Amino acid sequence: MLNTYKVDHFQDEESILYLPSGFRLDDDKLPHTVILGTARQSASCSRHPNGRNVIGISSELAKRLHLPSKVDSLSLFCKEDCLYAGVLIGIFTAGFTSFRLSPIGERSYFFKKLLSVQSSLGVIPFVFGERHIDWENGLIKGYFHFGDGWEIEDIPFPNVIYDRLPNRRSEKRKTYQSIKDRLQREYGIPWYNPGFFNKLDLFERLENDESVQHYLPETHRFQSFDEMERMLSIHHHIYLKPKNGSLGNGIHKITYSRSSQEYFCRFRDQEQKNRLLKFKTLEQLTNTVFKNRNLDAFIVQQGISLLKENNRAIDFRVHTNKDEEGNWQVSAMAGKVAGSGSVTTHANNGGEVKILSELFTDDAERKSIEDSLKEAALTLSHSIEHNLEGFIGEIGFDFGVDEDQQIWMFEANSKPGRSIFSHPELKSFDLLTRRLALSFGIFLTQQSLNNPEEMIP
């Protein structure tokens, strides 16, 4: 972990940096160059004249580095006679507005909270989009929040970029890919958490990994009614899910009743009402419910008999993050209880978030399930990282637990939602996941300085 120091800004027309009294140099050789992101500036560096354990930075040096005046703490580290003043993390997104109080629309509050961990980590995070890049001068109009409100500052290109695009549509834009390629290849800037996971592609990549096969329910692209019938005969119920869906939208649960020889389909309609319809044949069901819809855009997944609370199905959200050492850790965990008549546990379908101690009064049972979920999440995180391209720093898993306490992975999300943090007992984990999301940027920065050739795809 990098040492973080308070910053003392002082007026001087020369580029001067005072090193904290507690900052150690490997060979006691003072650096002559200070670096912030892609900005480099010659500077007079010396120990703090008053023996204070703070960073002293002159107004001229701050100006030349484009260091915002409200940055009040920085990490410091040296490499090859250069002093790196903090880690500059650019958070790339879309959906900017002209409103000063909410410049990134309804997600402004999330970004405000994400930026709020700056002081404790010694990093400098900012938010930007494609139209904020000044290629000619190597600067970005970054959106900052230091606690009082949103501010826009010119800032150098960052050390790393954290991808927080809101949806697949923005990710498919040609300009996105060209910006990403240019910043990676021309400037050597690592880009982490790129790409939304495709459900089917992810399952197909993981199914040959023996370490995680037992966590994967049977999952296929839609092929035929015969294939659906076969899966229904084995698993009693199945799910049809959009390959690229999110927030539980478009999920249909199909059940076959042997006693009445009828097919039932439970789903949420376009008016956001829970529906349960029955049919005599599977073809009648699909021709009615999926009329004018392309079934090739769906996957078919084995249904699991889940643990229940008051006859309402429970699944589990587990967040994993990579930390500043590049290691995976479980950062949050909660249960989600399905709403009445709902096919999913999502909040917009009436789902309810509960911590595990609320779901399991028996401590031994709770600990057993908690340990199993942690093991599954960490094993799958390593497997996903190994089998997918790019730098992955966080994953949100949706797990099911059956009546035999077998763990099943329903979905893995590269940009997980944060609805579980509405629970009052999970506020500290909300903070932890935000800290870790930026801590991984510190790790990638150090990796890119030590092994730059390994960081560019």
Residues pairing with 10 in the sheet: 58
Q: Say which amino acid occupies 160.
A: V
Q: Which residues fall within 8 angstroms of residue 112, CB to CB, at 6 or more apart?
A: 145, 150
The per-residue pLDDT string of the chain (457 residues; one tens digit each, 9 = 90 and over) reads: 678 999 999 999 999 999 999 998 877 789 999 999 999 999 999 999 999 999 999 999 999 999 999 999 999 999 888 999 999 999 999 999 999 999 999 999 999 999 999 888 999 999 999 999 999 999 999 999 998 899 999 999 999 999 999 998 899 888 999 999 999 999 999 999 988 888 889 999 999 999 999 999 999 998 888 899 999 999 989 999 887 766 667 889 999 998 899 999 998 877 778 888 999 999 899 889 888 788 888 889 999 999 998 888 899 999 999 999 999 999 999 999 987 756 666 555 667 999 999 999 999 999 999 999 999 999 999 999 999 999 999 999 999 999 899 999 999 999 998 989 999 999 999 999 999 999 999 999 999 988 887 777 6
pTM listed for this prediction: 0.91
Q: What is the DSSP string of 411-430?
A: EEESS---GGGGSGGGHHHH
- Burial level of 209, CB count in 10 A (0-12/13-18/19+)? middle
Q: Say which amino acid occupies 314.
A: I
How many CB atoms sit inside 10 A of residue 452's CB?
Answer: 11
Per-residue tokens: 2: 């990098």
Q: What is the DSSP string of 266-299?
A: EEE-TTS-EEEEEESSHHHHHHHHTTTS-GGGEE
Strands 16-19 and 44-47, by their bridges, are parallel
Per-residue tokens: 59: 């107004």
Q: Which residues fall within 8 angstroms of residue 444, CB to CB, at 6 or more apart?
A: 159, 160, 190, 192, 391, 455
Per-residue tokens: 26: 């490997």
